Amino acid sequence: MLNPSQLPVPSGVYAIGAQPESDESLLRQVRSKQAKIAVVGMGHVGLPTALGLASQGWHVLGADSCLPLVSLLQTGKAPFYEPGLDDLLLEHIGRRFFPVDNLNEAIREATIIFLCVGTPQKSSGEADLSQVETAARTIAQNLNGYKLIVEKSTVPAITAHWIDRTIRRFARNAYQGTGPVEFDVASNPEFLQEGVALRNITQPERVVCGVDSERARAILLEIYRPLGCPLLMTGLSTAEVIKHAANSFLSMKISFINMVADLCDAIGADVTKVAEGIGMDPRIGSRFLEAGIGFGGYCFPKDLRAFIFLAEEYGVDFSLLKQVEAINERRAELFVKKVRNALWVLQDKTIAVLGLAFKAGTDDTRESPSLRIVNMLLEEGAALRLHDPKAMPLLSKVLTPIEGRLTYSDSPYEAVAGAQALLILTDWPDYANLDWQKIRSAMDLPVIVDGRNLLNPEIMRRAGFEYVSIGRPRVGAR
């Protein structure tokens, strides 16, 4: 691992051949939105980013090398669920948003390029940056004028320096003795939350931009100033660290309240009131203090491990974050223990599972604690009936139904018929408003184990349920 001091600091300009048009001319194009934007990668970050930019009046090329994905987008259909995404796609497709599978042409046509490619995790916890490097090499081979390359994927510190270095290396090889080529690299980490991603883009709480040139700074100011939110300009590596530090801190808050919930379970306290009390302190705040089965999704677990890996590479002690991860990993096991304590033997028990996505508002099941719990229950011989309002179509292709052991239900009421327990694993609002008398009469045993503290214990007691939740006193029959 190279120290940042061993990498050449980008000058903000790398020129091959003659001088390009003036910076003032470039900025006029940006101000008038005549400059085109390419967003490379049409996943959970890239597609909302592209449509958000289109809604602000930009001409956006949505580039992805996956032809079936691009073909789907060209029909006006989004490849995943995000509230408002389908409507925004239909509004801008063919007008301001143009999905393309030819990355070379998209790069040549655009002036500003947002990199939103995947950075999956290796077994070591290190981020796999091969897609980022491939994108950088493709950009280098298609430089036909000034480009601002904006790194938006979540990446470890000094990745922007490597992007700059890679482009300069390959551009030098590709354009020896030919026309003018200039570019800047910037870091603009995303802070999207699945379920509210479009709001995060159009009404962000803050925007962070890492730049090493005045030109890149000026362009990003033109893009983001109209949003009217706080805008922080930093160096490249600082912006990259901000993203990992933010997600790791939020992960720490979740693991902290889950640790406190375990103590509340042991002594009969109520973790929701504890969270309310400490959250009233403005230094702490109430967000991300919801006890439950742990955090999941594509961002928090991956970013936490990548941050730990980066610290270890540079000899920095991140044992605090290792414990954050360890607490989160134990949540599924502790929840299954609650189910076991409620039912005793799980073998041959029929259990309704409500909620498979890692959080409400998305169909994303990546690193979902729900799936860890489902697999543990299957290993203990339980028969499961699964329901989720959005995640089932995608999940059923991965988690194959097993006759008599694992089935997908069209509704919560179908899932609970004849069940000995109902588990709530995702906090979908719909689940809070079910007909509980109907649920009670359909179940063999009126047992609910709520992994998200979604329901009111007193209402469940009056409805005749034995109700178990996280860090709150148990109610109902014992």
What lies within 8 Å, CB to CB, of 122 at 6+ separation is: 128
In degrees, rounded to 5, the angle at the alpha carbon of residue 331 between the alpha carbons of residues 245 and 346 is 160
Q: Write the DSSP string, 155-224.
A: --TTHHHHHHHHHHHHHHHHSTT-S---EEEEE------TTSHHHHHHS-S-EEEE-SSHHHHHHHHHHH
CA dist 61 and 77 (Å) reads: 16
Could you report how far apart the first and last alpha carbons of the chain are, in Å? 57
Residue 139 parent element (H or E): helix 130-140
Q: Which amino acid is at 251?
A: S
Residue 111 near residue 29, CB atoms below 8 Å: yes
- The crossing angle, in degrees rounded to 10, of helices 130-140 and 159-174 is 40
Q: Are residues 467 and 461 in contact, defined by beta-carbon separation less than 8 angstroms?
A: yes
Q: Report DSSP state, residue 37.
A: E
What does DSSP assign to residue 407? E
By annotation, the residues acting in catalysis are 299
**Cα 34 to the center of its chain, rounded Å:** 31
CA 43 to chain centre: 10
Single-letter amino acid code for the residue at 168: R
Yes or no: say if 456 and 448 are a contact pair by the CB < 8 Å rule.
no
**3-class SS of residue 11:** coil
CA nearest neighbour of 219 among 146, 158, 162? 146
147-151 sheet: strands from edge to edge: 97-100, 60-63, 37-40, 112-115, 147-151, 183-187, 207-210, 231-234
Residue linked to tokens 């790791």: 248
Contact between 354 and 423 under an 8 Å Cβ cutoff? The reply is yes
